[in-house]
Amino acid sequence: MPYKEPKIEKLYYPIGEVAEMFNVKTSLIRYWEKEFDIIKPHKNKKGNRLFTPEDIKNFHLIYHLVKERGLTLKGAAKKLKENKEDTVQNFEVVEKLKTIKQSLLEIKEGLD
């Protein structure tokens, strides 16, 4: 699974950690930041991007739409603008189903 849930909840995550969570390059994170207005990182005095946990959730949603469902960036942006609540709910259902599937596979493996 490409997304890794951080164990310790931080207030801000640097761009390198965010890219590592999704197993992508930092340039893709910067590009998505420009393309999607729901990503609004804070910048320190040096200009380094610092992402909040809310930004991480939004990146997870974008990753799901673009990488897992195969939408274009314009299609994903349109879907988020038109109906973000339903998109988030659908995403959460898919994630819960993945968790249930994983649990069932582990149970099956234990029975063999």
Question: What is the tally of structural domains in the chain?
Answer: 1
Whether 4 maps to a domain, the answer reads no
φ, ψ dihedrals at 66, nearest 5°? -85, -50
The SS3 assignment for 39 reads coil
Domain of 30 in residue numbering reads as: 13-82
- Give the model's pLDDT for residue 27: 93
Structure tokens at 77: 């942006």
- pLDDT at residue 112, as a whole number: 73
CB atoms within 10 A of CB 110: 7
Residue 52 counted as domain residue: yes
Residue 102 CA to its chain's centroid (Å): 19
Q: What is the pTM of this model?
A: 0.71
Least confident of 5-14, 63-72, 88-97: 5-14
Mean pLDDT is lowest, of 5-9, 18-22, 53-57, 94-98, for 5-9
Segments of the chain assigned E as strands: 13-14, 42-43, 49-51
Has residue 102 been placed in a domain? no
Q: What is the CATH number of the domain that holds 47?
A: 1.10.1660.10
Within a domain: 106? no
**Structural domain includes residue 28:** yes
* Residue 95 lies inside a defined structural domain of this protein: no
